[in-house]
Amino acid sequence: MVEMSQRQKYDLKRKIEELKSSRGKHTELISLYVPPSKQIFDVNSYLKNEFSQSQNIKSKTTRKNVLSAIESIMSRLKYFKKPPENGVVFFVGHKSVEGDQTQMVAYVIEPPIPITTFLYRCDSSFYTEPLEQFLTEREIYGLVLIDRRECTVGILRGAKTELLKYMTSQVPGKHGRGGQSQRRFERLTEIAAHEWFVKCGEKISEIFQSEEEIKGIFVGGSGPTKQYFVEEGYLHYEIQDKIIDIFDTGYTDEFGLKELVSVASESMTDLKISKEKKVMKRFLKEVTKSEKSLAVYGESHVKKALEMGIIDTLLISEDLRKYRLFLKCQSCNYSENRIISENDLQNFHPQACPKCNSSTNMEIEDKIDLVDEFSDLAEKTGAKVHLISRNSEEGDSLYMAFSGLAGILRYAVDI
Ligand SMILES: [Zn+2]
């Protein structure tokens, strides 16, 4: 299973934001998902068919726009002999811009994780849900459902739940016949239950020990058995240590797996947030130190520290949304760069050159997302990068109080 890096997630998230901001006047934006297993030839036939179907669209402009979008995809498809490793997604169409105008946009995205299903959609917005699913945490969790009758072992990879093992027991019901044999019956039942738990414990431990990446395990079931099973130590201690929480579920079979995931989802989010909080707390503790502080923050200081190679951990707010603009004078080649927020970028117009005062204004030569700039620098110097959401007070303070960029140094230095 491919894990996406935080950086890939961020890039994908930004791309999705961009796609979502595009709106068609009518149903004229096309989304096409091509999984790696699909033959390009088949995709082409599919599009040809869509093309002839679309000739029937009543509105003249919509028809024209849809047909040109399909044509555009078909011409782009020619560059592929076969789909890339993870498949490819096309988003093409005429989006509405100011007034009554439309503008043709085309995105070709090779996702960081394989696409599984072929999908064609023509709508007034781009269909981004399958890509968005990649963004939900792809961490791996173990799932166990147990009572005296059934035991189900499953795994959650990202948003996908898999059944790994389903077992049923021979343990008789608690209520036997009355009379003298009652005690003997109960004793036999308890022995059978114990054997059942031993068997389940061994199987569960064996399954999860072969899954190295498991972040934690959730246990569910309808009665008190699950608690008993966990507390009595039927699981291997390494597996036992990974149990995050125990929940009540109505089912202990495959249905129960989905149920368990849904009740445990809050714990999973908390886990992510608590990881972010932890690293932020480390930073905040350094900030308050009056001497030998390892904290550094703000664009210029963090950049300098990164260039010096002394940042151990880089903290970037997920909501940073800033760019560095590279400006150049076309007459004297004077250049400068400046940081600007995404909101200000729309209305930004370069000024005259401060050096030669040329009558033509400076031009924007290039722009780079600060997250990319800083992550690249961090990668070069082996600093760990944490993208921090604003879902915790600590995460919010990174954005609000430290301009979204901070670092923990390897050793204390005056910058
Ligand atoms: Zn100049």
Distance 29 CA to ligand 1 centre (A): 43
Whole-number Å distance, alpha carbon 346 to ligand 1 midpoint, is 24
Ligand 1 center to 360 CA (angstroms)? 9
pLDDT at residue 1 in the model? 41
Look at residue 302 in the predicted model and tell me its pLDDT: 96
Report the alpha-carbon distance of residue 252 to residue 146 in Å, rounded: 6
The alpha carbon of 28 is separated from its chain's Cα centroid by a whole number of angstroms, namely 28
pLDDT < 70 stretches in the chain: 1-3, 136-138, 174-180
C-alpha span between 376 and 292 (Å, rounded): 27
How many other CB atoms are there within 10 angstroms of residue 224's CB atom? 10
Question: How far is ligand 1, taken at its centre, from the CA of residue 343, in Å?
Answer: 27
In angstroms, the CA 19 to CA 92 distance is: 10
Distance of CA 323 from the midpoint of ligand 1 (Å): 23
CA distances from 46 to 81, 91, 118, 119 (A): 16, 16, 11, 11
Please give the distance, rounded to the nearest whole angstrom, from the Cα atom of residue 333 to the centre of ligand 1. Answer: 6
pLDDT at 138: 67
Q: pTM for this structure?
A: 0.64
Q: Give me 100's structure tokens.
A: 């009554």
Q: Give the tens place of pLDDT for each residue, 110-124.
A: 998 899 889 999 999
If you measure from the C-alpha of residue 351 to the centroid of ligand 1, how many angstroms do you get, rounded to a whole number?
11
Q: How far, in Å, from the CA of 361 to the mean position of ligand 1?
A: 9
